[in-house]
C-alpha cells in the first residue's frame, strides 16, 4: 500500500488528476485499517475513518471543484527523482524502507507545491505531503504526549488542510507583492 | 488531582485568546480593545518571572521570560495605531490569535505543543494577511516539522528528525520575515513568528544536546544554515537595488542569530538571543516609523549593525566568539556582516517623499521611538536583572 502511495505521489507530480490523490488517500486509509485490525486499536480505526473521509474523499472532491492547473513539465521529474533519492539516502531507523517511502511521499508533496502554478495545484501538493506525514503514523509506533493517538495527529493534519483549502476556495491571492526598496 | 493546572504563566496566552474570542463582537471599538488586550498581554509577559511553574503544557523558564516580552512588545506596537482599519470582521480576532499562539510556542514545555502553537500561528497569520505565500509553504513546512517530531517521538536517531525540524521551522521563520513593511498585521507576523520559530529551534538544540561534544559536531547544521542565510541575504542586498531592506536585513539578522546558536556555549547563545531581541525591536521601529524620517534613518542604522545601537555590540561579540571557534567560519561571517553594514549605508540619504494630505498624529511614531531606545539601551547598558535572566536562558540545556 505504501508503494501505491509513492507511485501516486510520482504521478501527481506530472498529472493534474485528483483521482490519483483520492487513490493515495484510500491507500492510506487501508493501511490504517490494517493497523487497526493488527493491533485491535479503536484509535487506528478512527484514524482510518478520518483518512477515508478527509484524504480520500473530501480533499480530492474540493480540489476537483476548484480546478487544478496542469503541471509544469520541465525538470519536474528530475526534482521528483531527487526527492526519492534524498529519502532513500536518509539514515532512517527500522523499518527503513517503509519510512523512506513515507519521507519520499512527504518530499514529493513539497515538490508538487513548489512546481505548480495556482493555489489549487499547490494545495494538492499539501494534501499529498499530509498523506506522507500520516503514513508515518501507520508505520512507526509513536508515543505521543498526554496519551494522544494517531487519530489526533490525523485530525491536526486535516485541520491544516481544511484551513488551506478554505482559503483557496475563498480565492486567496497567490501573486507575490511587488517588492519595493525601503523609503 | 488536577492534570492541567492553570497558573499565572498561562495569562500571556489566555488574555489574547480571550481577545480573539471577544473582539469580533465589539464592532467599532475592536481596534482600541485590541490595543488594550495587547498591553495587558505585554504586562502578563513581564510578570512571568513572578509565576511559579506548576507543570502542564506551558512552562515559564528563563528562555520564555526573555522571548515572551519581546513578542508582547511586538503585539503592543503593532496594535498601537488604532485608527487603521482592521482587515475584515475577524481581523482583530486573528491578530490576537497570532499573538497567543506565538506566545504559547515560546512557553511550550514540549516540542509537540510548540508544533501545535506554531501551526495555529501560521494558519492565523496566513489568513490574517490573506497571503498564500505564507499559508501554503508555511503548512508544508509544518508538515516537515511534524514528520521530524514524530520521528523523534518514535525513538528514531536524532539526525534526520532534527534536519526536518530545522528545515521546517527555519522555513517558517523565513516565510514570516518576507512580509514587507507597513500595516499592523504584517508587523505582528514578521515580528512575532520568527521569534517563536527561533525560540523553538533553540529548545530543540537543547533537547538534542546540540552543544554536546559529539562527532560529527551537531552544532554544525545550525552554524552552516545561519551562515548561508546571512550570506544569501547580504548578497541580495548588495546585488539587487530594488531589494526591500527591511525584509532582507531581517533575514540576514535571523542568519546571524542561527549562527550564534550554532557557535554554542553560554556566551554565544546569550549574544544570539540578545541580537534576536534587538533586531526585532529595530524592525518594529521601521514598521512604526510612519512619516518620521529621523526614526526611519535611525532604525536603518540600527539594522545595519551601526553604533550606537545594540546590534553593533552583539554582532561584534558574536564575531569575536566565531573567531575563537574557527577562522574558516569567522571569515565569511565577517564578510556577511560587512555587506549588511554597506547595504544600510547605501540607502542613505533617503530620497524625499511626496507630501501627504494628512500627516499622522505625533503619537503614531511613539512606539517606534520606544523600540529604538530599547534597541540602544539593551546593547549599551543591559540592566543587571535582564543580564542575569539572559545568561540563565542561554545556559538552559
For B155-205, the pLDDT digits (tens) are 767 778 888 899 999 999 999 998 876 677 888 899 999 999 999 988 887
- Is A144 within 8 Å of B147 when comparing Cβ atoms? no
Q: Does A86 touch chain B (CB under 8 A)?
A: no
Least CB-CB distance to B112: which of A145, A172, A183? A145
What CA dihedral angle connects B236, B239, B240 and B243, to 10 degrees? 40
Reported confidence tier of residue B214, pLDDT bands at 50, 70, 90: very low
Q: What is the pLDDT of residue B20?
A: 92
C-alpha cell at B236: 541580495
- Is A172 within 8 Å of B135 when comparing Cβ atoms? yes
Say if residues B347 and A183 touch (Cβ distance below 8 Å).
yes
Q: Which residue has the cell 492541567?
A: B4
Q: At a CB cut-off of 8 Å and minimum separation 6, what does A20 contact?
A: A8, A11, A12
Span B299-342, pLDDT tens digits: 999 999 998 899 999 999 999 999 988 888 899 999 999 999 99
- Is B154 within 8 Å of A163 when comparing Cβ atoms? no
Chain B, 21-40: which have a CB under 8 Å from a chain A CB? none
- The answer on pLDDT for A29 being more than 90 is yes
Residue B343 phi/psi, 5-degree rounding, is: -65, -30
Say if residues B282 and B250 touch (Cβ distance below 8 Å).
no
Question: What is the C-alpha separation between B116 and A153, in angstroms, rounded?
Answer: 10
Reported confidence tier of residue B282, pLDDT bands at 50, 70, 90: very high
Say if residues A132 and B147 touch (Cβ distance below 8 Å).
yes
Which has more pLDDT, A77 or B393?
B393
Can you tell me whether residue B130 is helix, strand or coil? coil
| Alpha helices, DSSP H, located in B154-183 | 158-177
Q: What is the pLDDT of residue B302?
A: 92
Domains of chain B: which residue ranges?
7-209, 218-350+365-397
A175 in a domain, yes or no? no
Contacts of B354 in chain A (CB under 8 A): none
Contacts of A130 in chain B (CB under 8 A): 143
Q: What is the pLDDT of residue B357?
A: 57
CA distance B125 to chain A (A): 12
Q: Does A83 touch chain B (CB under 8 A)?
A: no
Least CB-CB distance to B119: which of A122, A145, A160? A160
Q: Which residue has the cell 524625499?
A: B352
Q: What is the pLDDT of residue B360?
A: 64
Nearest to A84 by CA among A109, A101, A59, A69: A101
Helix (H) / strand (E) element for A21: namely helix A18-39
Least CB-CB distance to B147: which of A103, A113, A126? A103
- The answer on pLDDT for B2 being more than 50 is no
Return the number of other C-beta atoms located less than 10 Å from residue A65's C-beta: 10
Tell me the β-bridge partners of B108: B58
CA distance B149 to chain A (A): 10
Q: What is the pLDDT of residue B80?
A: 82
Nearest to B221 by CA among B210, B237, B231: B210
Among B131-135, B178-182, B208-212, the least confident range: B208-212
Contacts of A144 in chain B (CB under 8 A): 112, 153
Beta strand ranges found along B6-83 (DSSP E): none
Can you tell me whether residue B72 is helix, strand or coil? helix
Chain B, 353-392: which have a CB under 8 Å from a chain A CB? 353
Contacts of B113 in chain A (CB under 8 A): 145
Least CB-CB distance to A181: which of B113, B241, B296? B241
Reported confidence tier of residue A13, pLDDT bands at 50, 70, 90: confident
Question: What is the C-alpha separation between A92 and A96, in angstroms, rounded?
Answer: 6
Say if residues B368 and B295 touch (Cβ distance below 8 Å).
yes
B262: Cα within 13 Å, side-chain hemisphere: 24
Helix axes B310-325, B245-263, angle to 10 degrees: 40
- Is A161 within 8 Å of B353 when comparing Cβ atoms? no
- Is A160 within 8 Å of B143 when comparing Cβ atoms? yes
Chosen for mutation from A138, A148, A159, A181 (greatest number of chain B CBs closer than 10 Å) is: A181
What CA dihedral angle connects B176, B178, B181 and B187, to 10 degrees? 0
Say if residues B30 and B75 touch (Cβ distance below 8 Å).
no
Interface confidence, given as ipTM, is 0.91
Tell me the β-bridge partners of A66: none
- Is A182 within 8 Å of B246 when comparing Cβ atoms? yes
Q: Which residue has the cell 481577545?
A: B19
Q: What is the pLDDT of residue A181?
A: 41
Return the number of other C-beta atoms located less than 10 Å from residue B47's C-beta: 16
Structural domain count of chain A: 1
A76 in a domain, yes or no? yes
- Is B143 within 8 Å of A129 when comparing Cβ atoms? yes
Contacts of A156 in chain B (CB under 8 A): 116, 119, 146
DSSP B157: -
Chain A, 102-141: which have a CB under 8 Å from a chain B CB? 102-103, 106, 109-110, 113, 119, 122-123, 125-126, 129-130, 132-133, 136-137, 140-141
The whole domain housing A131 covers: 2-170
Span B229-280, pLDDT tens digits: 999 999 999 887 777 888 999 999 999 999 998 887 889 999 999 999 999 9
C-alpha cell at B5: 493546572
- The answer on pLDDT for A136 being more than 50 is yes
- Is A136 within 8 Å of B150 when comparing Cβ atoms? yes
Q: What is the pLDDT of residue A15?
A: 77
Nearest to B64 by CA among B117, B124, B127: B117
Least CB-CB distance to A183: which of B123, B132, B350? B350
Mean pLDDT computed over B112-119: 93
Q: What's the whole-number average pLDDT of chain B?
A: 85
Helix axes B310-325, B327-346, angle to 10 degrees: 160
Question: What is the C-alpha separation between B380 and B319, in angstroms, rounded?
Answer: 17
What are the distances in angstroms from CA A129 to CA A47, B199, B288?
A: 17, 25, 38
Contacts of B180 in chain A (CB under 8 A): 177, 179-180
Say if residues A83 and A114 touch (Cβ distance below 8 Å).
no
Contacts of A161 in chain B (CB under 8 A): 139
CA distance A93 to chain B (A): 6
Question: What is the C-alpha separation between B188 and B35, in angstroms, rounded?
Answer: 13
Amino acid at each position: 500500500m505504501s508503494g501505491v502511495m509513492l507511485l501516486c505521489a510520482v504521478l501527481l507530480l506530472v498529472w493534474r488528476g485528483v483521482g490519483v490523490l483520492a487513490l493515495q488517500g484510500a491507500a492510506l486509509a487501508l493501511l490504517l485499517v490494517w493497523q487497526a485490525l493488527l493491533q485491535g486499536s479503536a484509535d487506528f480505526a478512527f484514524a482510518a475513518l478520518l483518512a477515508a473521509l478527509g484524504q480520500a474523499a473530501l480533499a480530492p472532491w474540493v480540489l476537483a471543484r476548484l480546478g487544478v492547473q496542469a503541471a509544469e513539465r520541465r525538470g519536474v521529474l528530475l526534482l521528483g527523482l531527487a526527492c526519492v533519492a534524498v529519502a532513500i539516502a536518509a539514515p532512517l531507523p527500522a523499518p527503513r524502507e517503509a519510512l523512506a517511502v513515507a519521507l519520499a511521499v512527504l518530499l514529493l508533496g513539497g515538490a508538487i507545491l513548489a512546481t505548480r502554478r495556482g493555489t489549487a495545484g499547490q494545495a494538492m501538493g499539501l494534501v499529498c505531503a499530509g498523506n506522507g506525514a500520516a503514513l508515518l503514523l501507520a508505520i512507526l509506533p509513536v508515543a505521543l504526549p498526554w496519551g494522544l493517538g494517531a487519530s489526533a495527529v490525523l485530525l491536526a493534519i486535516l485541520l491544516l488542510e481544511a484551513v488551506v483549502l478554505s482559503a483557496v476556495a475563498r480565492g486567496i491571492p497567490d501573486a507575490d507583492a511587488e517588492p519595493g526598496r525601503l523609503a | 488531582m488536577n492534570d492541567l493546572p492553570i497558573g499565572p504563566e498561562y495569562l500571556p496566552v489566555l488574555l489574547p485568546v480571550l481577545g480573539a474570542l471577544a473582539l469580533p463582537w465589539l464592532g467599532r471599538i475592536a481596534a482600541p480593545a485590541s490595543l488594550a488586550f495587547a498591553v495587558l498581554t505585554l504586562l502578563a509577559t513581564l510578570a512571568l518571572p513572578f509565576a511559579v511553574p506548576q507543570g502542564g503544557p506551558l512552562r515559564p523558564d528563563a528562555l520564555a521570560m526573555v522571548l515572551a516580552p519581546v513578542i508582547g512588545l511586538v503585539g503592543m506596537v503593532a496594535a498601537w495605531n488604532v485608527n487603521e482599519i482592521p482587515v475584515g470582521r475577524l481581523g482583530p480576532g486573528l491578530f490576537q490569535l497570532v499573538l497567543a499562539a506565538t506566545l504559547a510556542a515560546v512557553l511550550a514545555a514540549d516540542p509537540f505543543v510548540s508544533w501545535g502553537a506554531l501551526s495555529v500561528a501560521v494558519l492565523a497569520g496566513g489568513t490574517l494577511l490573506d497571503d498564500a505565500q505564507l499559508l501554503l509553504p508555511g503548512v508544508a513546512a509544518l508538515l516537515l516539522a511534524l514528520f521530524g517530531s514524530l520521528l523523534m517521538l518514535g525513538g528514531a536517531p536524532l539526525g534526520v528528525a532534527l534536519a526536518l525540524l530545522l528545515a521546517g521551522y527555519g522555513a517558517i521563520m523565513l516565510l514570516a520575515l518576507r512580509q514587507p513593511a507597513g500595516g499592523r498585521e504584517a508587523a505582528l507576523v514578521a515580528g512575532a513568528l520568527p521569534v517563536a520559530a527561533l525560540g523553538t529551534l533553540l529548545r530543540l538544540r537543547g533537547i538534542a544536546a546540540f552543544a554536546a561534544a559529539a562527532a560529527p559536531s551537531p552544532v554544525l547544521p545550525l552554524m552552516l544554515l545561519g551562515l548561508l542565510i546571512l550570506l544569501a541575504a547580504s548578497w541580495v542586498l548588495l546585488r539587487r537595488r530594488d531589494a526591500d531592506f527591511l525584509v532582507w536585513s531581517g533575514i540576514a539578522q535571523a542568519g546571524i542569530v542561527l549562527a550564534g546558536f550554532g557557535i554554542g556555549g553560554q556566551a554565544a547563545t546569550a549574544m544570539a538571543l540578545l541580537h534576536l531581541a534587538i533586531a526585532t525591536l529595530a524592525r518594529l521601529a521601521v514598521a512604526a516609523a510612519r512619516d518620521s524620517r529621523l526614526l526611519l534613518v535611525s532604525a536603518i542604522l540600527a539594522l545595519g549593525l551601526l553604533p550606537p545601537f545594540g546590534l553593533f555590540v552583539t554582532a561584534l561579540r558574536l564575531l569575536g566568539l566565531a573567531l575563537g571557534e574557527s577562522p574558516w567560519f569567522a571569515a565569511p561571517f565577517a564578510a556577511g556582516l560587512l555587506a549588511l553594514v554597506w547595504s544600510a549605508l547605501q540607502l542613505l540619504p533617503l530620497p524625499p517623499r511626496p507630501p501627504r494630505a494628512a500627516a499622522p498624529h505625533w503619537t503614531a511614531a511613539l512606539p517606534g521611538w520606544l523600540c529604538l531606545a530599547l534597541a540602544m539601551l539593551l546593547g549599551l547598558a543591559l540592566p543587571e536583572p535582564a543580564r542575569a535572566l539572559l545568561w540563565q536562558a542561554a545556559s538552559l540545556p
